[in-house]
A and B are shown apart, each in its own frame.
Chain A
């Protein structure tokens, strides 16, 4: 219960904080402070329990199917860390209250601050690894938001992104790692995993899992070579740096390493990966820290270096080293946080953090200076301060390392060197800021800040001193339960004494002290602007360059991976389809069927010789002679419909023919709007070589595809008939479908639902065409009338034939005579179409053909009579027709519900009608009527939409006609 509360409190606080007004600085501070303090107190109150029972658990079932529950688990180690997170949080909140300026929108700050606290506690208290990985990412996100708190600053934005990308990527790697780990251990629960040490280390995936988890931990703890993000995270407000980037978040990595130490550590891989990274970081970062100009920069690199120290300790595969690591985690948090606070104070009071400009602040702010000095001393590892103790332990470990000889020599030397560095930068930090001549021309006149701002730093420094002098009484027991929690029974005996007698570690410390002092005195009295030896290496530049390279390469690549050209896409589709279709044939092989083939009729052959030539002609002519191409296509269509007649498909023939006519007319209407193009252009600029190649490629592909389809067709045509579903339709057409024309019965009854969808498509397309053309204006150069319509007196074709007079009985002009016929034709067409509609059920015909016939008639009216005249004479409401069509089709279907049977069940009525003979009236007829009306409506709607373009074009002309 208490556990849940600890975790929930910060998140609730964060929610609350987000909704306070943006100027409520005090309210926010009180809220955050209360939350943090409350959490701290709860954690403290849990100490006896943890000390007694060892581990507290709490679990709520979440996703059993995935083998994860929401579970919290607090042992000594987790407890110490939780205390660190909450306690440090409390102090930083107090500090932040005075640090943030009144103009800052603090709700955002405190909301994310508390959210981070919650996420961090989540990592610490998670009872299973997946949950831990979740909170892990959450801390990255929260830190992103906090670094970018002043998002109007470029460096803040970049720093935030760098941190997010690096730690986020690490988090993903970690997720992968724990997935493997959980799979190996047979469960993601922490206890399960911790119990499966041998299994894990024996498993073939162990190196992979280790690598991924190390990736996560090292990125998070800013270890070499992923360290570069941390210095840039310093763009964050100082409280954030003090809290996230020195005390807590960057410790998550080492926390994880320590957490999984029992199961992962002890192997060579572990030593080299973790220890190696730690050692490099320790030395390199220490070296870099010396040369920083920004106070926070120094602290950032020293943080990295100290994290390196901790990582190295963890990598040493020795329990005592682990103890030292945990101890140093705690110590580092105390002194580094207080140093950050000091830096913030200096920044706050003087307006700069530049070491070059700062000097002699001791007189102005003695208290700050004293605190900073003590903390810095702890960082340098001066005796009687906590830093000294853990550093001694570290030195001792490096000496007694259980490794080959040379490593036993290299390591202590490196350690001492790093010690020298840390002494040097600590000295520089203090000396340049607080001593020397009084600084001139600072942005602000320095003076002590308010007491409250000093309090947190003061408390931390006190902790440093107390721990440094009386380790056993203060930190001793806490450290013990923490280390016992990790090491269990195997926890080594150790003594936290200040004085271990004159021994090698002490000598190393002394060497580090002297060396560091000399280093500073001799080389760094006047530091150079840049870092000697390493100036080339600049994490930021490399990162930016990587980012840029990534983006540009990617956009270069994607242009090739998915080219924007339609031809490439169609090519890809055809090629893939062809290849895929060939695959089974080639792998399994196939032979023609055994069905006796019907003898080829020469007339039929001739028909298709013509048809084939037409098709090829279209392909040949479509570019330069559109009209010709259209006519040839018509020829091919004709051949198709004749084939239908030939092979006993009268309905198809009829429909194909009707469609043919309408389509052609529509295309003719549309042709007018395409740009002129004729052979002469082609002659002028003949196709280039690449064009020819491309054409050749396309010809080949097309040929192969065509042959393939032909092959498929023949393969099926030559197979014996299958006893499929078709006999049913033929047998039942009359008895159950009540119609003789089986095709029509299928269309309107057996598979009426298809037709239902099909007419919907027609309707949709009509709507689309209408919607599109309503907005559309033709291209200016195609506005002038086509040559055919121009009179002799208007060469440029911008004067039209005498505007059609709506009142006229007949359209005037050169189309007078045809118009007469066409007008007479209209009523006949109407009759014919109705006739086809009604007989459809028993003889070739049906609603669709009927509808098309009527539509064609209307179309002719337009072509011949001209829009103005036609619309003056007959009102057509295509939309209404369509709606009625759809409704009656749907109605015919719904009607069946009344008889309790499903949609589209036919309800029949037989009767005799004069002149049409025996007639079968039924819901089916209503359905077909719906088809009829919709076809008329849709076709006419499209026609009107297209035809009206010419009107538009002409109307545009008087108004300048400019595009």
Chain B
């Protein structure tokens, strides 16, 4: 399980970073969201992995920490997701504006000179 998740994170992050290094705005925004997934999973993983132990207190079983997975990373991920959502939307709009004003979707606002 752990190793799978780790590799998943790696794959997402790798593809994301590769896209970040590309010249087209759309590639960059895609890269950002992939990297976002990777980071969310990473944060989440910091609480270690447990299945079937959601941090919703079951009054019957009581509030023994041993019974539930670590809730803190989940809270952090939630915040991260929201902020990620916001920034993605923002970048999307800037991307549109740049396209509109500079007439190209190149990240530098002008086509790189062909070598």
Contacts and interface: CB of A to CB of B under 8 A. Distances in A.
Interface of A: 564-567, 570-571, 574, 595, 597-601, 604-605, 608, 611-612, 615-616, 618-619, 622-623, 626, 629-630, 633, 636-637, 639-640, 643-644, 646-652, 655-656, 659, 662-663, 666-667, 670-671, 673-675, 685, 688, 690-691, 698-699, 701-703, 705-707, 709-714, 716-718, 721, 724-727, 729-731, 733-734, 740-743, 746-747, 751, 754-755, 758-759, 761-762, 764-766, 768-769, 772-773, 776-779, 782, 842-844, 848, 938, 942, 945-946, 949
A659 B77 CA distance: 13
B59 A740 contact: yes
B49 A717 contact: yes
Given A643-B8, A709-B13, A648 B108 contact: no
A674 B83 CA distance: 25
Contacts of A673: 96, 99-100
B10 A707 contact: yes
Query: Could you say which of B34, B44, B107 has the most chain A C-beta atoms within 10 Å of its C-beta?
Result: B34
Contacts of A574: 17, 20-21
Query: Could you say which of B25, B47, B74, B89 has the most chain A C-beta atoms within 10 Å of its C-beta?
Result: B89
Contact of A640 (B15, B41, B47, B105): B41
Contact of A762 (B31, B70, B86, B92): B86
B69 A648 contact: yes
A730 B6 contact: no
Contacts of B53: 648
Nearest to B3: A714
Contact of B55 (A648, A702, A762): A648
Contacts of A759: 82
Given A633-B30, A742-B56, A713 B69 contact: no
Interface in B1-48: 1-27, 29-31, 33-34, 37-38, 40-42, 44-48
Q: What is the interface residue range for chain B against chain A?
A: 35 or more
Given A566-B108, A942-B93, 13 more contacts: A629-B26, A646-B51, A648-B55, A649-B44, A659-B85, A673-B96, A674-B105, A711-B6, A721-B48, A726-B65, A729-B72, A743-B56, A776-B101
Given A655-B78, A729-B72, A567 B65 contact: no
Contact of B10 (A599, A709, A758, A842): A709
Contact of B100 (A566, A747, A779): A779
A717 B45 contact: yes
B12 to A, nearest CB: 5
10 A-B pairs with the lowest CB-CB distances in the bound complex, closest first:
A706-B14, A710-B10, A702-B18, A727-B65, A714-B6, A619-B15, A765-B86, A717-B2, A742-B55, A746-B75
A667 B29 contact: yes
B71 A713 contact: no
A116 B82 CA distance: 62
B8 A598 contact: no
Nearest to B25: A674
B9 A633 contact: no
B85 A662 contact: yes
A493 to B, nearest CB: 78
A622 B24 contact: yes
A837 to B, nearest CB: 15
Contacts of B79: 747, 754-755, 758
Contacts, number: 332
Contacts of B72: 724-726, 729, 746
9 contacts: A612-B8, A615-B11, A618-B19, A649-B54, A650-B56, A656-B81, A754-B75, A758-B82, A946-B96
A740 B57 contact: yes
Interface of B: 1-27, 29-31, 33-34, 37-38, 40-42, 44-59, 63-65, 68-72, 74-75, 77-79, 81-90, 92-97, 99-101, 103-105, 107-108, 112, 114-115
Query: Could you say which of A640, A662, A685 has the most chain B C-beta atoms within 10 Å of its C-beta?
Result: A640
Contacts of B18: 619, 698-699, 702
B21 A698 contact: yes
Given A643-B41, A706-B10, A709-B9, A623 B107 contact: no
B56 A608 contact: no
Given A619-B19, A652-B77, A751-B75, A636 B93 contact: no
Given A629-B30, A710-B9, A705 B49 contact: no
A765 B10 contact: no
B33 to A, nearest CB: 6
A932 to B, nearest CB: 13
A701 B17 contact: yes
A570 B68 contact: no
A618 B15 contact: yes
Contacts of B38: 709
User: Does more than half of chain B's interface fall in helix, strand or loop, or is it mixed?
Assistant: helix
Contacts of A734: 57, 59, 63
Contacts of A671: 26
Given A636-B34, A690-B115, A758-B83, A643 B5 contact: yes
Contacts of B16: 615, 702
B4 A608 contact: yes
Contacts of A604: 1, 4
A333 to B, nearest CB: 61
Contacts of B92: 666-667, 670, 946
Contacts of A597: 1-3
A636 B48 contact: no
B2 A710 contact: no
Contacts of B87: 765
B104 A598 contact: no
B88 to A, nearest CB: 6
A707 B8 contact: no
Contacts of B94: 772
Contact of B4 (A605, A731, A777): A605
Given A717-B5, A730-B71, A567 B107 contact: yes
A667 B79 CA distance: 21
B63 A730 contact: yes
Nearest to A773: B93
Nearest to A712: B42
A718 B2 contact: yes
A650 B47 CA distance: 15
Given A652-B81, A772-B93, A616 B11 contact: yes
Query: Could you say which of B31, B64, B75 has the most chain A C-beta atoms within 10 Å of its C-beta?
Result: B75
A702 B17 contact: yes
Query: Could you say which of B15, B38, B65, B68 has the most chain A C-beta atoms within 10 Å of its C-beta?
Result: B15
A615 B38 CA distance: 10
Contacts of B11: 608, 611-612, 615-616, 706, 710
Contact of A570 (B10, B21, B78, B90): B21
B86 to A, nearest CB: 4
B3 A600 contact: yes
Given A622-B19, A709-B38, A765-B86, A726 B47 contact: yes
Nearest to B56: A741
A616 to B, nearest CB: 6
A724 B4 CA distance: 25
Contacts of A711: 6, 10
A261 B68 CA distance: 81
A688 B115 CA distance: 7
B46 A716 contact: yes
A933 to B, nearest CB: 15
B81 A655 contact: yes
A637 B30 CA distance: 12
A706 B56 CA distance: 33
A713 B78 contact: no
Contacts of B88: 663
B90 to A, nearest CB: 5
Contacts of A599: 1
Contacts of A705: 13-14, 17
B59 A701 contact: no
A616 B15 CA distance: 6
A663 B33 contact: yes
A663 B6 contact: no
